[in-house]
Structure 1
Amino acid sequence: MSSRPLTGSSAADAVAIGREQTRLRVIEAAIGLLTRGGRDAVTTRAVADAAGLQPPAIYRLFGDKDGLLDAVAEHGFAAFLATKRVDPDPPDPIEDLRAGWDVAVEFGLTNPALYTLMYSEPTRATSAAFKAGMEILRGRIRRLAAGGWLRVDEELAAQIVHATGRGAVLTWLSLPEDRRDRALLTALREAMVTAVTNQQPAVRDAGPAGAARALHAALPEQTALSGAEQHLLREWLERLTADR
């Protein structure tokens, strides 16, 4: 059976697929070196050798070593994102928050070298996969707010959850193995839960802050108000949520 010659577009597609496969092979080789020997082991020559390429290929694909490390970090964020499971209507929003925190921490403990690289530079917060993961977290926070469970405003709550998870992993990894105690992780998680949530829905409290947060969370679904009215209502609600 004779094969048809590739058209211009299909030939370009084949080249793009081959380039992406090579790129992934290099990233996986870099992750292997990172896992076994730490960041210092990830040199362009070592990565090229592990991927079966010549060093100039690394520069063609990633620009330089920093570009390669950025790609490795992005791959890590994407892998972490794939571990997230989202329940749009969890039976217990606080347990859902705990479960999400546990998943994030466990990923860091399972992939220590990769996790450290992912969070070693603030600029990596621009990663598309990192932003997608934060949107999942903000969705959890929004459900807490809509149910009146949130003690603080949504942005602060997201920052607390993220910071405690990241801090828990990096602190754990900094400890000698014989001093690592899972009780530390549990204590940090529960401190996070206490900081951002109420044990009972805040709308049951006498103060207006919890009810204001719940209404603020539901406001994007409001269609009866004009844009100017929604803006004014948000301003009022934000002032009420600050009344603690």
Structure 2
Amino acid sequence: MTIAPLSPDALLDRLTETVHGLRRPDGGSVRVLLDGAAAARPDRWADGLVDRLQRLSRPVLRVSAWDFLKPASVRLERGRTDPDAFYDDWLDAGTLVREVLAPAAVGKPVLPTFWDVATDRATRAARVDLPPGGVLLVDGPLLLGRGLPAELEVHVALSAGALRRQTPDDEAWTLPAYARYVDEVDPESLAEIVVLADHPDRPALKVADAS
């Protein structure tokens, strides 16, 4: 593996080129997972991809995994700051597959949001159509290793030190969950693309050496 340092714009251009080159033979939407800890800002890269893909006239919909969390009665059963609960119990992966990832693959309308954490109620959002050949971007933490179906997996990586420094004090309780994720899932080994984001203004791509 080699490291290719790039400016943020150049890195987004490379990601856009890769995503734009993907097509499903059945005409369904290409599903892209942008995985990373909150401090790694996978949402930043998702926003940049939306902008660039739209400029290429590619239909695109961005969905945040934070809008597909379980109700508080389940999510917080072990307490508000339990790292194992954050790892195991927060994301409603079943609903994300059933309402977003599975229908997108066959050209059916998808649910853009599901659960409002602030009100602890369903959002009752209207379903959204993605035209044939569209792109569905799903960003959020701890997405890989769950069997979420996708055509491309991107992991935005932070070293342990950078993650610790960039995580706000009131979210430091999540750090053991991310350490467990690295140990049990090793997301860098699963993702087709790894963005090294210790320095947000000087990211890099981790790429395979040519054989």
Report the TM-score, using the length of structure 2 for normalisation: 0.24
Q: Say which structure is richer in strand.
A: 2
Report the TM-score, using the length of structure 1 for normalisation: 0.22
